[in-house]
């Protein structure tokens, strides 16, 4: 049984109005325990609408969301449980910081879960460590931090609830390349150390190529490609046709291939690229 599953999930904004938009159409998705799923797609493809269903924030127009096999809208208690088991960090979450100190902001979620003060403190400190928040920041106002630091505080706030599934909607959006690498590295580290399931939404392949175990490519409100990173990147033409780009590294190998060099084209990480180039050089060395 999948940990989290959508069955024929359809969602319409503004049903019965002239502004009706079918944002999701018949989506069947399954997420297994421990996976790091990357949901990618162009702006407007339905990514945010999809993830807001996974913790019960939006209710399907048609179809179901199952968590551990149970419909999260079967009862009020099931919906409430889903809110805690599935932690969702919105796009640009730093705009939602509002407490007077970093500590209070990170502890907001765990406090709502009815934990004791000691438990809350443990949760907050563990989450702060994952995102590299220094002890001396804890009593600062979140508004005195930089954009990237605020983002990390907001992500820690969701991690501090210690959800079974952590979902991050565009966690690296708007950050400079160093900030992006840092946030993505933290998320990977969180997953490796906790073994928890993580879902990352992104419109950039470069962001998730190195860390996702499964990729779901969305177009017009439905997945058009699902598979391992390697499987999805093999369909480079399909990706380009849905308006997505393959990672820069993969593009280099596609160009080499197009130029008549006999290379693999399912290359998307630096170590793999190095291995493939070394192989090529050795082969050429032998041929000479």
Ligand X SMILES: Nc1ncnc2c1ncn2[C@@H]1O[C@H](COP(=O)(O)OP(=O)(O)O)[C@@H](O)[C@H]1O
How far apart CA 54 and CA 48 sit, in angstroms, is 10
Look at residues 247, 267, 268, 254 and name the one whose alpha carbon lies nearest to residue 205. Answer: 247
DSSP state of 93: G
Angle at 179 between CA 233 and CA 153, to 5 degrees: 115
Beta partners for 63? none
**Residue 109's binding partner out of ligand X, Mg ion, none, with CB under 5 to 8 Å set by partner kind:** none
Q: Pick the closer one to ligand X by CB: 44 or 148.
A: 44
Q: Does 43 bind ligand X (CB under 6 A)?
A: yes
Touching ligand X, residues 4-23 (CB under 6 A) = 13-14, 21, 23
Q: Does 48 bind ligand X (CB under 6 A)?
A: yes
For helices 102-112 and 147-159, angle between their N-to-C axes, nearest 10 degrees: 20
Q: Does 179 bind ligand X (CB under 6 A)?
A: no
Q: Pick the closer one to Mg ion by CB: 102 or 201.
A: 201
How far apart CA 59 and CA 77 sit, in angstroms, is 15
Touching Mg ion, residues 44-63 (CB under 5 A) = 48
Q: Does 49 bind ligand X (CB under 6 A)?
A: yes
Considering only the stretches 38-46, 53-61, 92-100, 131-139, report the one whose residues sit in contact with ligand X under the rule CB under 6 A. Answer: 38-46
**Residue 6's binding partner out of ligand X, Mg ion, none, with CB under 5 to 8 Å set by partner kind:** none
Query: φ and ψ at 83, to 5 degrees?
Result: -60, -35
Binding site for Mg ion (CB under 5 A): 48
Binding site for ligand X (CB under 6 A): 13-14, 21, 23, 41, 43-49
């Amino acid at each position: 049984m999948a940990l989290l599953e959508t069955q024929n999930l359809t969602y319409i904004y503004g049903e019965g109005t002239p502004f009706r938009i079918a944002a999701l159409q018949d989506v069947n998705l399954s997420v297994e325990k421990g996976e790091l799923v990357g949901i990618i797609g162009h702006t407007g493809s339905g990514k945010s609408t999809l993830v807001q269903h996974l913790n019960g924030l939006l209710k399907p127009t048609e179809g179901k969301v199952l968590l551990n096999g149970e419909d999260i809208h079967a009862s009020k208690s099931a919906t409430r449980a889903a809110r805690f088991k599935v932690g969702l960090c919105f796009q640009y979450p730093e705009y939602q910081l509002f407490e007077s100190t970093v500590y209070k902001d990170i502890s907001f979620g765990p406090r709502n879960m009815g934990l004791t003060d000691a438990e809350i403190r443990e949760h907050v400190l563990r989450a702060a460590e994952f995102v590299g928040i220094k002890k001396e920041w804890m009593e600062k106002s979140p508004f005195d931090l930089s954009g990237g630091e605020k983002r990390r505080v907001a992500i820690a706030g969701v991690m501090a609830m210690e959800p079974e599934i952590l979902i991050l909607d565009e966690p690296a959006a708007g950050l400079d390349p160093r900030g992006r690498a840092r946030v993505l590295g933290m998320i990977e580290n969180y997953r490796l150390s906790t073994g928890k399931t993580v879902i990352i939404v992104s419109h950039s392949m470069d962001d998730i190529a190195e860390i996702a175990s499964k990729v779901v490519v969305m177009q017009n409100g439905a997945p058009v490609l699902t598979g391992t990173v390697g499987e999805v990147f093999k369909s480079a033409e399909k990706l380009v046709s849905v308006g997505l780009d393959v990672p820069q590294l993969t593009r280099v190998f596609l160009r080499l291939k197009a130029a008549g060099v006999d290379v693999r084209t399912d290359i998307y990480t630096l170590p793999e690229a190095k291995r493939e180039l070394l192989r090529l050089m050795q082969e050429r060395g032998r041929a000479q």
